[in-house]
Structures are given as C-alpha cells and as structure tokens.
Amino acid sequence: MTRAVLEGVAFAFRDAADVFRALDVHPKHMSITGGAARNDTFCRIMADVLNTPLKRIDANVTAMGAAILAACAAGRFANWQDSIEEWPVPGEIFEPAENGKYEEAYKRFRKLYPRLAKWEE
C-alpha cells in the first residue's frame, strides 16, 4: 500500500513534468528536497517515473532560490537557467532505470485518475 501511494505521488509529478516537456523544456536532471527526499526508495521511484536523473539536495533551497531570483532581477544573469549553472548544489543523483517499468502503470494512472477525481465532488 505504501509503495502504491509513493507511485501515485510520482505519477502526479510526471503529469507536471509532461506539461513542461510539451512546452519544450527538457531539464538535464530534476531536484528533490525535504522530508520525502530522505527516502531512497521514493527517490528511485521518482527518477524511474520521471525518466530523468533526480538529484537529492540537502540544502536550504528556499534561501538559495530567493538569492537566485534576486540575482536575476539585479541583472547578474541573462536568465534563470544561467543562474542555476553558476550555483550548483551537492547532492546524490538517482539515475532512472532503463527498463521503463512504470510506463504501463503511468498510462493506467492517466486513464483512471479523471474517473476517481469525480468521486470527490
């Protein structure tokens, strides 16, 4: 049951990631932080479902994000992508498995979710 919950959360993030991909935004990796990031199993599931390397960050990303935005607003960087390259943060990388084991499950999730969401009304 716990694994199903973790996979459902990962599928919801995949929905958001697919929106960015449709907008032609293809990051080299994605980052995760906070309590859930401490769980290796969840990080592996996320990397596999997103099919993108996932970097676990153990840093105060709120303050860092504010500093990056301030530097961008001050004209220090041409765009936010450049600022990210300038301020790398250490972290463990979870590479996605090459087996695509979550593709079929994600397709089922996409079909089932709208039907279940109607029950909330």
| DSSP secondary structure of the chain | -HHHHHHHHHHHHHHHHHHHHHTT---S-EEE-SGGGG-HHHHHHHHHHHTS-EEEE-S-HHHHHHHHHHHHHTTSSSSHHHHHHHS---EEEEPPPTT-TTHHHHHHHHHHHHHHHGGG-
Q: Is residue 11 part of a domain?
A: yes
Domain that holds residue 77: 2-98
- pLDDT in the model for residue 121: 58
Q: Which helix (H) or strand (E) holds 114?
A: helix 103-117
CATH code of the domain in which 74 resides: 3.30.420.40
pTM exceeds 0.75 for this model: no
Total number of domains in the chain? 1
How does pLDDT run across 40-71, given as a tens digit for each residue?
A: 999 999 999 999 999 998 877 778 788 888 98
How does pLDDT run across 76-111, given as a tens digit for each residue?
A: 988 877 887 777 777 899 999 988 889 999 999 888
Whether 91 contacts 53, CB under 8 Å = no
Q: Is residue 107 part of a domain?
A: no
How does pLDDT run across 1-10, given as a tens digit for each residue?
A: 999 999 999 9
Whether 46 contacts 94, CB under 8 Å = yes
Q: Is residue 120 part of a domain?
A: no
- Provide the 3-class DSSP secondary structure of residue 64: helix
- pLDDT in the model for residue 120: 63
- pLDDT in the model for residue 18: 93
Q: Is residue 119 part of a domain?
A: no
Q: Is residue 109 part of a domain?
A: no
Q: Is residue 46 part of a domain?
A: yes
